[in-house]
Amino acid sequence: MKATVTVMLKPGVLDPQGEAVRRALHSLGFEGVEGVRQGRVIELDLAAQDRAAAEESIRAMCERLLANTVIESYRIEIA
Amino acid sequence: MKATVTVMLKPGVLDPQGEAVRRALHSLGFEGVEGVRQGRVIELDLAAQDRAAAEESIRAMCERLLANTVIESYRIEIA
């Protein structure tokens, strides 16, 4: 089973990486870019067959390792 | 207009970051994780109103800055 976890900084948390990308895009002439936020995407290949169990397991992975829930939010998509 | 760019290493390209995550998950007891690939997600806030023009512009950003197309592939989603 394939799953995708997207981890983004929560709104309001400063994103220096995204800001650096925005500036770099401006300096390349892409003036129409008003904001950039950068996050991580983690694709998981799971042995589990049960969808509900997989989602619960992925949620535990996010809470324990994949995301820093103080400053980051995560979204789980199961294919 | 909001757009999301997802940048992943191409299949076959070694992903040491993903492999480190896989090992860390195993050591936390998540034995069912067979493979992990890690990539970047970039959320763009664009002034453009025209969808086709925005997509073309984002494609140029990917080719010039956001992705290293030798080893990475990218996917564009416009909200």
Which of B41, B44, B65 is facing A40, going by the closest CB pair?
Answer: B41
Distance in angstroms (rounded) separating the CA atoms of residues B40 and B8: 7
Of A32, A34, A39, the CB nearest to B41: A39
Indicate if the pLDDT at residue B5 is higher than 90. Answer: yes
**What CATH number does residue B66 fall under?**
3.30.1280.10
Token code pair at residue B4: 């999301």
Overall number of domains in chain A: 1
Nearest CA in chain B to A62: B25
Range of the domain at A44: 2-78
> Which SS3 state, helix, strand or coil, does residue B73 take?
strand
Backbone angles phi, psi at A3, to 5 degrees: -140, 150
Q: What is the 3-state composition of chain A as percent helix, strand, coil, each rounded to the nearest 5? A: 35, 35, 30
Summarised one tens digit per residue, pLDDT across range A5-23 is 999 999 999 999 999 999 9
Confidence class for position B79, pLDDT limits 50, 70, 90: confident
Secondary structure of residue A16 in the 3-state scheme? helix
